[in-house]
Amino acid sequence: MRYRALGSTGISVSVIGFGASPLGNVFSSVPRADDDALVGRAVDAGINFFDVSPYYGAGLAEERLGEALVPYRKDVVLATKCGRNGANRFDFSAKGITASLEASLRRLKIDAVDLIQAHDIEFGDIDQVIYETIPALLALKQQGKARYIGITGYWPGLLARVIAEAPVDTVLNYCHLNLFSDEMDAVLTPAAERMGIGLINASPLHMGILGGAQLPDWHPAPPAVRVAGADVVSFCRSSGADPAILSMWACLQYRSVASTLVGFASTEQVDSACAALDFVPDTQMLKTVRRLVAPVFNTSWPQGRPENEDAGRVAPALEEDEIKVAKA
């Protein structure tokens, strides 16, 4: 494993982080009996950064992760979130944030968390996030209930704007720095680096698209992106390559990112992510993958309040025959 400084926090995190949303059964059902082996394999591989949220399975992922981390509590950096309580339920008020962290600490069975993050701020009123949510997080930090505070979300430009105005320690962006996109690097990274804010990248597989399994109903990616992802998966497999290793490798090339979070549902997936550390891709294969992704590179989909969207980046319309392929 390799480790990097998480901004100015003084914490050192593994470049591959454990995303715990699968423990909330958000992609598919993950057997609870496997939790100890899964978390144990990650810790053995040197992974020390774990990310969860009350939103993942309505508290289930926190409960399961908290339980499985009991033997390793002193050795790991644990991050959770607040503000997002359901697919369409958000509460970024000071009262809601404080109650949410209290409930998370109970589920995680700890007195304090290393990092508390306002979850998916693009769904909130940004003035409220800056002037109410962040001050509430700072108060929790002062009370010793969280060591550091951060924000998470989908739009790199929005996150860049908010970190310029709010005193956070970390910023997490997802689906904007992997084989499908480099917008986080172009838009958010320079601002975060300048301010010494820890950068966390999430969803190296574009929320499972490059895992090749059937996607859950809630997955927001437009058909053209799914088609390109399916093409990459079948091309890699026919070449004897693992698309998950390639996509994690692509993320690890960005040295400004402290950690890339991948959602793990099995010990094999932990092994696959870690294989990316020593991976050297075949140049021709990489070229073909980049060509397959090129038509949808940097495509985003609507997410959050329209007024919070980064301008001009919604998915292009599909031709009729492409829609048929995407649905198949």
Per CB under 6 A, residues contacting ligand NAD are 19-22, 27, 51, 81, 119-120, 152-153, 172, 174, 202-208, 211, 244, 261-265, 269, 272
CA 232 to the chain's CA centroid: 21
CA 324 to the chain's CA centroid: 30
Phi first, then psi, for residue 117 (nearest 5°) are -125, 135
Q: Which is nearer to ligand NAD, 203 or 300 (CB)?
A: 203
Contact 83, 92 (CB under 8 A): yes
CB of 55 to ligand NAD, least distance (A): 8
Whether residue 55 lies in the annotated active site = no
Q: Encode 23-46: b = buried (16+ Cβ within 10 Å), e = exposed.
A: bbbbbeebeeebbeebbebbbebe
**DSSP state for residue 75 in the 8-state scheme:** G
Looking at residue 44, its amino acid is: D
For the chain, report the end-to-end CA distance as a whole number of angstroms: 39
Q: Which is nearer to ligand NAD, 54 or 204 (CB)?
A: 204
Contact 235, 292 (CB under 8 A): yes
CB of 25 to ligand NAD, least distance (A): 10
CB of 312 to ligand NAD, least distance (A): 22
Q: Number of helices (H) and strands (E) in the chain: give both, helices first.
A: 13, 12
CB of 132 to ligand NAD, least distance (A): 19
**What's the token pair of residue 27?**
């992609």
Instruction: Pick the catalytic residue from 55, 56, 148, 154.
Output: 56
Q: Which is nearer to ligand NAD, 76 or 143 (CB)?
A: 76
Q: Which is nearer to ligand NAD, 24 or 191 (CB)?
A: 24
CB of 200 to ligand NAD, least distance (A): 8
Q: Which is nearer to ligand NAD, 142 or 253 (CB)?
A: 253
Using left for φ > 0, alpha for ψ between -120 and 50, and beta otherwise, residue 317 falls in beta
Residues with active-site annotation: 56
